[in-house]
Amino acid sequence: MANGWKITAIIFLIITLIQFSLMFWVFNMGIEMVENENDCVYNICSDYPSYFYDDYEQICYCYENNEIVYQEYIK
């Protein structure tokens, strides 16, 4: 067991790399969602009083008098 610390260090290094990769992926996914919602608000539904952005289906809905007037798929 003289080299047990090397195996432990390699395992922790791999876990750390996986952790940073997941954090980077989640951060980029969050940035993309914010950009899509901003696109919905400022570019697609700017002429309508209210909007809803469905981030799961990536559809922007524009409302007027509580009715969907226009919808557009983003990306």
**Per-residue pLDDT reduced to its tens digit, 12-69:** 999 999 999 999 999 999 999 999 999 999 999 999 999 999 988 999 999 999 999 9
More confident: 3 or 42: 42
Residue given tokens 């195996």 in the structure block:
7
pLDDT the model gives residue 2 = 64
Domain extent, residue 24, equals 4-73
Q: Please state the pTM of the whole predicted model.
A: 0.70
pLDDT the model gives residue 30 = 92
pLDDT the model gives residue 1 = 57
Q: How far is CA 40 from CA 6, 50, 51, 62, 75, in A?
A: 51, 11, 8, 9, 11
Q: Are 64 and 48 in contact (CB under 8 A)?
A: yes
pLDDT the model gives residue 75 = 76
Structural domain count, the chain:
1
